[in-house]
Structure 1
Amino acid sequence: MTLTGQPAPDFTLPSSTGENITLSSYRGNKNVVLVFYPLDFSPVCSMQLPEYSGRQDDFADANTVVLGINRDSAYTHKAWAAEYGIEVPLLADMNLEVARQYGVSLDGKGISGRAVFLIDKEGVVRYEHVEATPGEYTVKPEEVLEKIRAL
């Protein structure tokens, strides 16, 4: 299943910032990078999300917001964000409903796969990369920034 060229499935989820975030609220205003990852406090995720957070100024300069999403609770997200200095909002998709909409739910394992989706200001998916296994992390923030700059 590919979503590239399709309208991004909309959702509203609780976040580590204490507010509910609705994807469509960015439409007409900002690009959005959705970073699906398996679990807070896991080794690969604890490299990936801080790397994206560390490039937040570059994403802001490209008029883009980064949102992390997995099945952990907003409370777990908040603790993990505090421990690792993660400043991007982390969204709680506790029943994997959004992961299923994006085709990245690993239902047998109860987690989402690792994936990146770039959604333009019109709400259309312009780029997607789903890792072959959840333990892989091959698409780095710089590559996503290049895709944004090419829009």
Structure 2
Amino acid sequence: MGDLAPDFTLPASSGQTVTLSSYRGQKNVVLVFYPLDFSPVCSMQLPEYSGRQDDFADLDTVVLGINRDSLHTHKAWAAEYGIEVPLLADMKLDVARSYGVAIEDRAISGRAVFLIDKEGRVRFRFVEEKTGDYSVRPEEVLKKIREL
């Protein structure tokens, strides 16, 4: 903990390009890595985080979802499930690899949550052992942010 988070630039479902370091000095960032759009657990997890977006914003925090799906798939999934957090397309899994959460033999990212503070340092990291597990709920992450 406390290491500088690996920087990246990825296209987002919003049509913008997101660079992690652009938040430095301004916002905390929660990176939510998840395996696939439209999968059952992911379709529960990301809407939960999206539904707490105001709570995160109140703590100067943005939530970014990241997986290997295309922008087209991200947009369709977000529309169907009412997901409002930006979904980033890490189609080659480069970002997942840099955070140590790529599952190479399945060509997906694992389920993981990283809290990055305004200085760009990793303050909380949780990686699920199984991609079907979902144990780090938004409330736990909000608690960690309040402890910063």
The letter for the 2-side match of 1:83 is E
Residue in structure 2 matching 1:23, options 20, 25, 31: 20
Corresponding residue for 1:127?
124
CA RMSD in angstroms comes to 0.4
Corresponding residue for 1:58?
55
Question: What is the alpha-carbon distance in structure 1 between the residues aligned to residue 125 and residue 31 of structure 2?
Answer: 9
Question: What is the alpha-carbon distance in structure 2 between the residues aligned to residue 74 and residue 120 of structure 1?
Answer: 27
Corresponding residue for 1:78?
75
The letter for the 1-side match of 2:8 is F
Question: What is the alpha-carbon distance in structure 2 between the residues aligned to residue 12 and residue 82 of structure 1?
Answer: 23
Corresponding residue for 2:89?
92
Question: What is the alpha-carbon distance in structure 2 between the residues aligned to residue 24 and residue 78 of structure 1?
Answer: 24
The letter for the 2-side match of 1:98 is V
> What is the TM-score when the length of structure 1 is the normalising length?
0.97
Residue in structure 2 matching 1:105, options 98, 102, 106: 102
Question: What is the alpha-carbon distance in structure 2 between the residues aligned to residue 71 and residue 84 of structure 1?
Answer: 18
Question: What is the alpha-carbon distance in structure 1 between the residues aligned to residue 90 and residue 130 of structure 2?
Answer: 19
In the comparison of the two structures, how many residue pairs are matched? Answer: 148
Question: What is the alpha-carbon distance in structure 2 between the residues aligned to residue 123 and residue 77 of structure 1?
Answer: 26
Gaps of 5+ in 1: none
Q: What is the identity percentage for the equivalent residue pairs of Structure 1 and Structure 2?
A: 77
Runs of at least 4 residues of structure 1 off by over 2 A? none
Question: What is the alpha-carbon distance in structure 2 between the residues aligned to residue 92 and residue 74 of structure 1?
Answer: 6
Gaps of 5+ in 2: none
Residue in structure 1 matching 2:115, options 99, 114, 118: 118
Question: What is the alpha-carbon distance in structure 2 between the residues aligned to residue 61 and residue 20 of structure 1?
Answer: 23
Question: What is the alpha-carbon distance in structure 2 between the residues aligned to residue 75 and residue 22 of structure 1?
Answer: 20
Q: Structure 1, residues 49-100: CA drift from partner, whole Å, max 9, x if none?
A: 0000000000000100000000001111011000000000000000000000
Q: Structure 1, residues 108-139: CA drift from partner, whole Å, max 9, x if none?
A: 00000000000000000000000001000000
Asked if 1:35 is matched to 2:32, the reply is: yes
Question: What is the alpha-carbon distance in structure 2 between the residues aligned to residue 13 and residue 78 of structure 1?
Answer: 15
